Amino acid sequence: MSTTWHILGAGSLGTLWATRLARAGVPVRLILRDEARLASYQAAKGLTLVEQGVEHTYPVIGETPDCPEPIHRLLVACKAYDAQSAVAQLHARLVPDADLILLQNGLGSQDAVAAQLPQARCIFASSTEGAFRDGDWRVVFAGHGYTWLGDVGHPTPPLWLDDLHAAGIPHAWSTEILTRLWRKLALNCAINPLTVLYQCRNGGLQDHQCEVATLCAELTELLEWCGQPAAAEQLHSEVERVIQATAANYSSMYQDVNNGRRTEISYLLGYACEAAARHQLTLPHLLQVQARLVEHLRAHGLASD
Ligand code: NAD
Ligand code: KPL
C-alpha cells in the first residue's frame, strides 16, 4: 500500500489534486478546519471535479487536524498567508522526516513553513494549472497547465512523483525551482497589481505600456541583485507575451479583489519590496505601485497584508 497523501486545504488546487489522486487509486485524506466543516463535507459525500462540463464525485475521506493518524506526506494547498499556521496545527502528527509539498504562489511562505520543520523535506511547487470553486466541495478545472516541483537543498526527485504520473498531473522535477518561483513572482508583480489599479483585463495593460516597461526594468534589476539572473532574462518581453496571450483574462489578484477576497500581496509585491530594501536598492515605481495597491485594498475594506 503506498503512502497516504494528506491534503491540507480543500480549496481549488487542493480539490484538483485530491480528486485526481483519488481517481488513480492513490490513498488520499482531506484535512478540514474543524468538526463543522467535516460535517458539511460528509453531507456532500465527497469532492466533485468538473472537467469540460462533466462532473464526478470522489468519496475522499475527510478528517480534522486533531485526528491521531501520523502524516508522512502533506500537500499544503492553502493560500500563502494561511500556510504557516495551518501546518503548525499538524506539528504533533507530522513524522520527523515527512515530505511537505508547498503549492503556494509567490515567495516567503515556503521558507516560513520550512523553518518550522527543520527535519522535514519541504518541496516547493510552482503551478500554471487553473481551477476555481463553483460551490462548496466542488472545483472546476479551468486551465490545463504544468506543475514544477523542486527541493532547494536536495536535487534528488522523490519516488512519489510516480503517484502524480499515475494521477495524470502534468509535472516536472526542477533543480531550479527558485528561478521558476522568482520568475512567476516577477510576472505577477508586473501584471496583477496594475490590473487591479486600472480595473482591467490583462489585455488592458496594452494601454499602459510605459508603466509595464518601467516595472519590468526595476524587477529585472531586483532579480539580478537577488542572485536570480536566469529569472531576469528577457523579463519584459515575457511579460508582454503573457499580457497578449491572456488578454481576455482577469488576473488572479483582480479576481480576488473583485470577489472581496484577501490577496497574496505580501508574498508578491510585498516580498519584492522587502528584498529591494534588504539590498538597499531604490526601485521607486515598484514602491509606488505597492503603495497605490495598499491604498486601493484599504479603500475596498480588504486586508493590505
Ligand atoms: P483556495 O482559497 O481555493 O483554497 C485554500 C483552502 O485552504 C480553503 O479552502 C481554506 O479554507 C483552506 N484552509 C486555510 N487554512 C486552513 C486550515 N488551517 N486548515 C484547513 N484548511 C485551511 O486557494 P487556491 O486557489 O487553491 O490557492 C492555493 C495556493 O495555490 C495559492 O497560493 C494560490 O496562489 C496558488 N495557485 C492557485 C491556482 C488556482 O488556479 N486556484 C493556480 C496556481 C497557484
Ligand atoms: O499568473 C497570473 C495570474 O493572474 O496570477 C498571470 C496570468 C500570469 C498574470 O500575472
Q: What is the pLDDT of residues 197-211, one digit of tens each?
A: 999 999 999 999 999
Q: How many C-beta atoms surround the C-beta of residue 148 within 10 A?
A: 19
What is the pLDDT, as a whole number, of residue 1?
A: 66
Q: 50: Cβ below 6 Å to ligand 1?
A: no
Burial of 257 (0-12, 13-18, 19+ CB in 10 A): buried
CATH match of 179-299 with 1.10.1040.10: yes
Query: For 262-299, how does the pLDDT look when each residue is reduced to its tens digit (9 = 90+)?
Result: 999 999 999 999 999 999 999 999 999 999 999 999 99
List residues near ligand 2 (CB under 6 A): 187-188, 191-192, 202, 242, 246, 251-252
- Determine which residue's CA is closest to atom 8 belonging to ligand 1: 11
Decide: helix, strand or coil at residue 228.
Answer: coil
* Residue located nearest, by CA, to atom 13 of ligand 1: 9
Which pLDDT value is given to residue 2? 87
In terms of DSSP bridges, do strands 130-135 and 138-143 run parallel, antiparallel, or are they unpaired? Answer: antiparallel
For residue range 47-96, what is the model confidence (pLDDT) as tens digits? Answer: 999 999 999 999 999 999 999 999 999 999 999 999 999 999 999 999 99
Q: Order the strands of the 54-58 sheet from edge to edge.
A: 54-58, 47-51, 138-143, 130-135
Q: What percent of the chain has pLDDT over 90?
A: 99
One-letter amino acid of 286? L
Mutate to test the pocket of ligand 2, among 188, 212, 265 (most ligand atoms within 8 A of CB): 188
CA dist 107 → 62, 112, 175, 178, 297 (Å): 29, 10, 17, 9, 20
- Nearest CA to 61 among 98, 13, 6? 6
Whats the size of the chain, residue-wise? 305
**What's the gap between Cα 100 and its chain centre?**
14
CA dist 290 and 247 (Å) reads 23
Q: What is the CA radius of gyration of the chain?
A: 19
179-299: same fold as 5-174? no
Cα–Cα dist 35/267, whole Å: 30
> pTM to 2 decimals?
0.97
Residue 188 to residue 216: CA distance in whole angstroms:
11
Distance CA 61, CA 45 (A): 9
Per-residue pLDDT tens for 146-181?
A: 999 999 999 999 999 999 999 999 999 999 999 999
Mean pLDDT, the chain, as a whole number? 97
Task: Tell me which of 202, 239, 240 to substitute to probe ligand 2's pocket, judged by most ligand atoms within 8 Å of the beta carbon.
Answer: 202
Residue whose grid cell is 528577457: 234
CB crowding 103-139: b at 16 or more within 10 Å, else e = bbbbbbbbebbbebbeebbbbbbbbebbbbeeeebbb
| Single-letter amino acid code for the residue at 245 | A
What are the DSSP E strand ranges found in the chain? 5-8, 28-31, 47-51, 54-58, 61-63, 71-76, 94-102, 121-127, 130-135, 138-143, 147-150, 171-173
Q: Compute the distance from residue 251 Cα to the ligand 2 centre, in Å.
A: 5
* 156: DSSP letter: S
CA 26 from centroid of its chain's CA atoms: 23
| All structural domains of the chain with their residue ranges | 5-174, 179-299
Residue whose entry in the numeric block shows the C-alpha cell 488520499: 28
Q: How far is the CA of 16 from the centre of ligand 1 (A)?
A: 11
User: What proportion of the chain, given as a percentage, has pLDDT over 70?
Assistant: 100
Fold of the domain built from segment(s) 5-174: Rossmann fold (3.40.50)
Nearest Cα residue to 57 out of 67, 47, 65, 66: 47
User: What's the CA-to-centroid distance between 126 and ligand 1, angstroms?
Assistant: 13
